[in-house]
């Protein structure tokens, strides 16, 4: 049982690292793999009981959702989340033009500042000051409101 479990972990790690080659995203691979591992463990621990296998698989999907969200939380994730929050607040209150983010995993941080309209009333120019190892770097980005009403970062 342990050898099979280790094989599943190794295969899933290889698939996750090559997810761009398989034309799938990492979140899907993590969720699918954790569901398979949960189902396998439920099957092995209950001697093939279908109910335990299903419960193990469901538990694996839930665990995989949390795991994929955690893995996806890089610096850009926190920067984008803070930028969209500031844009939403700025729509109703023009006095709020800046925000601060920090990645608790890496310790990196940054400041987001809405500079003004760009290219039209639905796009905003954003100045981003990224702080890494006590050195700051400034970049300019653009965010535009989509037809759905949501803000989207333009790369």
**Contacting residues for 58 by C-beta, under 8 A, at least 6 apart:** 35, 38
Q: 64 or 134, which is more confident?
A: 134
Per DSSP, the three-state class of 57 is: helix
pLDDT band with cut points at 50, 70 and 90 for residue 3? low
Q: Say if residue 72's pLDDT is above 80.
A: no
* Residue 107 CA from chain centroid, whole number: 17
Task: Assess contact for 125 and 118: CB atoms under 8 A.
Answer: yes
What single-letter DSSP state applies at residue 143? E
pLDDT band per the 50, 70, 90 thresholds, residue 10: low
Q: How far apart are CA 51 and CA 17, in angstroms?
A: 32
Yes or no: say if 123 and 95 are a contact pair by the CB < 8 Å rule.
no
* 92-115 pLDDT, tens digit each: 766 778 899 888 887 888 999 988
Q: In angstroms, rounded to a whole number, what is the distance separating the alpha carbons of residues 22 and 15?
A: 8
Q: Can you give the residue ranges of every domain in the chain?
A: 2-71, 75-154
Please give the Cα distance from 64 to 121 (Å, whole number): 40
16 has a pLDDT exceeding 60: no
């Amino acid at each position: 049982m342990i050898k099979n479990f280790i094989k599943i972990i190794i295969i899933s790690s290889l698939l996750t690292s090559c997810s761009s080659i398989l034309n799938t995203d990492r979140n899907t691979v993590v969720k699918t793999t954790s569901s398979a591992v949960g189902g396998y463990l439920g099957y092995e621990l209950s001697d093939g009981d279908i109910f335990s296998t299903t419960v193990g698989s469901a538990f694996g999907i839930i665990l995989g959702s949390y795991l994929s969200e955690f893995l996806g939380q890089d610096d850009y994730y926190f920067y984008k989340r803070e930028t969209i929050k500031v844009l939403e607040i700025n729509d109703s209150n023009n006095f709020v033009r800046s925000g601060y983010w920090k990645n608790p995993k890496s310790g990196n941080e940054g400041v987001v500042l809405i500079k003004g309209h760009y290219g039209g009333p639905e796009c905003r120019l954003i100045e981003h000051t990224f702080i890494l190892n006590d050195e700051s770097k400034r970049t300019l980005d653009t965010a535009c409101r989509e037809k759905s009403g949501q803000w989207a970062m333009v790369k």
